[in-house]
Structure 1
Amino acid sequence: MRFSHVEAFRAVMLSGSTTAAAEILHTSQPNVSRSIAQLEKISGLQLFERLPGKLVPTSDGLSFFKEVQRSFAGLRHLEEAARRIRRFSGGSLTIAAIQLIALGLVPRTVKRFAEQYPEVSISIHTGHSSAITEWVDDQICDIGIVSQLNAAYALESEVLYEIDAVCVMPKGHHLAAKTSLGPSDIADEPYISFPRNESGYSAVDAIFEEAGISRTINLETSYSSITCSLVAQGLGIAIVNPLAALDYRHTDIVTRPFRPAIKHFGYLIYPKGRPEDRLIASFVDTLKLVLRDDKHLLTGSSLP
């Protein structure tokens, strides 16, 4: 039994005649009639009664048509499965990111990515750069987004962003009248700091020490998101990655550039020697597009 025989039978059942079936299949009417006759011979079933000018399905023909329809439904399922595979549907992706990225940039990226590939399963983890590096090295995660690279691990990496820190303060703060701030502006202000063992503190600390200016540090936290939330409560000012402040732009905070500049870096890390993966590549492309939009919100133009 050939597929062409079954296809001809189905076309006749759906269209009502061999002539209409021939048009559907882009073939001749004699070819359709020949396929039906061969199918009846092979199956041992009389599928139609031949009446003048038409074919009438027999009870066997109707029963056989039900089975044919089930088979074609299975073929449609396979076609849909192929489309899902082409669009990464049914795939999975595990992402790890430092907290300020995991709370803002990653969810915005996932939202846009899911609009294109709704059936992809995504798992998101957060931690410090050291933990994320271990997860990616152990291939627990497909992609990592970190603020520091660790040369002890043989991972592939690329720069995701390089961006200047900003000073964040409550709305209505008297320093908001300035276009930019420096160490002397912050000297007498309640200051929310990163703990001394966290990345970023040493760069800020060095700038204030070089300027000979002490800060009034009344609060410490390891996370930029918590820092921005504390600022919104009016508990002090801080110097943070502007991507963290962006997530709090609808709260009672404002930002101003801080000079001299303090750089914040973000890196994408991948397992070494990973095979080319279209799913990962597509997610990274989406991530970069969302980051570009975020930078527009921060500055009104793209940053290098």
Structure 2
Amino acid sequence: MAAINFRHLEAIRALILSGSVTGAATRLNVTQPAVSHLIRDAEERLGFALFNRELGRLSPTRKAELILEMFERSLSGLEALNDYCAQLKQSEHRQVVISTIPSFAAAVLPQIIRTYRDEIGPDFFLIKSANTEMGIASVRYNSSDLAFGVNLDPVPGVECATVHNSRALCYLPPGHPLGEKTVITPQDLAGLPMITLSRMEGIAQSIASRIPDHGEAVVECPAAITVLALVEAGIGYTLLDPMTASVFRSDRVVLRQFSENIPFDHRIYWSTSKPMSFDLDKVIALARDFTADAVGRTLARVPAAG
């Protein structure tokens, strides 16, 4: 198979987005025959059709859509590189790229970066929001230096260290009748509306394996902070780690101990194939200290078991 080049990709993208050869030619500021030639040449090089041609209309094949998706990711990477070059114009400090789940980014990461820059050096930090699975992948393929996530084991080529182990608390809407109890049991939650976390983190599966009759899921949300906002709105309860609640300062969410041990293992991940250009041990130590502080602030709001 012959390789396609950037001009082929531009033509494929323009034709998909505009829906016509005329529109693609306008986007690229070329003639319509030039667009048609690029598409035909790309299909010949690839060995498969990129567009379905029916009654004079073009529609992208699934392969073309997948190529566009990958191309868009590449453009995002190019944008990030341009941003980094602009940053280098102002400073030559090292860049540390961190992929992180949103809850850790809000609850702990600001303190880590502030202290690191105060005590180690003025490195430039680039933060990317990602679920744990994507964060691990970005570390493995060296598009991130570090990833912070929860519960997932590393893959080959990636190491990890535990930042903090905690167990789930029960988060209830304001004025919920179960707020009269200090410890919530699975039986208490049977049949109640529940807000669940994305299954990508493995947390939903962990809850289901321990308490099969854990209520009726009414919303699934990947961002833990948003889950707490949904609880505050009275939509349902959730089972969540104590770190996240340290960011959510509203006292309208009722926090109670949960009788079953549902673990939240917050971890830091890094590549074994990429040399560290920053103080990894310091980052790990700061992550552990500040996460413990965040968890401690939350647990201080939880009534002791009666």
Q: TM-score, normalised by structure 2?
A: 0.61
Give the superposed CA RMSD.
2.4
144, 147, 164: which is aligned to 2:147? 144
Corresponding position: 1:266 with 2:266:
yes
Q: In the aligned structure 2, how far is the partner of 1:262 from the partner of 1:234?
A: 23
Corresponding position: 1:177 with 2:156:
no
Deviation at 1:149, TM superposition (A): 3.7
Deviation at 1:163, TM superposition (A): 0.8
Aligned partner of 2:6 in structure 1 is: none
Aligned partner of 1:190 in structure 2 is: 193
Query: What is the DSSP-based 3-state SS (H/G/I as helix, E as strand, rest coil) of the residue aligned with 2:172?
Result: strand
Deviation at 1:198, TM superposition (A): 5.1
Q: In the aligned structure 2, how far is the partner of 1:163 from the partner of 1:254?
A: 18
Aligned partner of 1:240 in structure 2 is: 240
Q: Note if contact 1:92-1:122 (Cα within 8 Å) is conserved in structure 2.
A: yes
Aligned partner of 1:123 in structure 2 is: 126
Q: In the aligned structure 1, how far is the partner of 2:123 from the partner of 2:199?
A: 40
Q: Kindly provide the CA deviation profile for residues 215-253 of structure 1, in whole angstroms up to 9, marking residues without a partner as x.
A: 232222222111101011121111112212221133521
Q: In the aligned structure 2, how far is the partner of 1:126 from the partner of 1:266?
A: 16
Q: In the aligned structure 2, how far is the partner of 1:198 from the partner of 1:231?
A: 20
Amino acid at match of 1:162: N
Deviation at 1:276, TM superposition (A): 5.6
Q: In the aligned structure 2, how far is the partner of 1:146 from the partner of 1:123?
A: 16
Q: Runs of 5+ in structure 2 lacking a partner?
A: 1-91, 301-306
When residues 203 and 272 of structure 1 are mapped into structure 2, their CA distance, relative to the original with a 3 A threshold, is same
Any residues of structure 2 matched to 1:92-241 within 5 Å, and which? 92-116=95-119, 119-150=122-153, 152-195=155-198, 199-209=202-212, 213=213, 215-241=215-241
Any residues of structure 2 matched to 1:256-295 within 5 Å, and which? 256-275=256-275, 277-295=277-295
Greater C-alpha Rg: 1
Amino acid at match of 2:292: R
Q: Kindly provide the CA deviation profile for residues 48-107 of structure 1, in whole angstroms up to 9, marking residues without a partner as x.
A: xxxxxxxxxxxxxxxxxxxxxxxxxxxxxxxxxxxxxxxxx9332211112221232112
Corresponding position: 1:254 with 2:248:
no
Q: In the aligned structure 2, how far is the partner of 1:103 from the partner of 1:247?
A: 7
Q: In the aligned structure 1, how far is the partner of 2:159 from the partner of 2:201?
A: 24
**How many percent identity over aligned positions?**
18
Q: Kindly provide the CA deviation profile for residues 191-212 of structure 1, in whole angstroms up to 9, marking residues without a partner as x.
A: 2123556521112112332xxx
Q: In the aligned structure 1, how far is the partner of 2:167 from the partner of 2:290?
A: 18
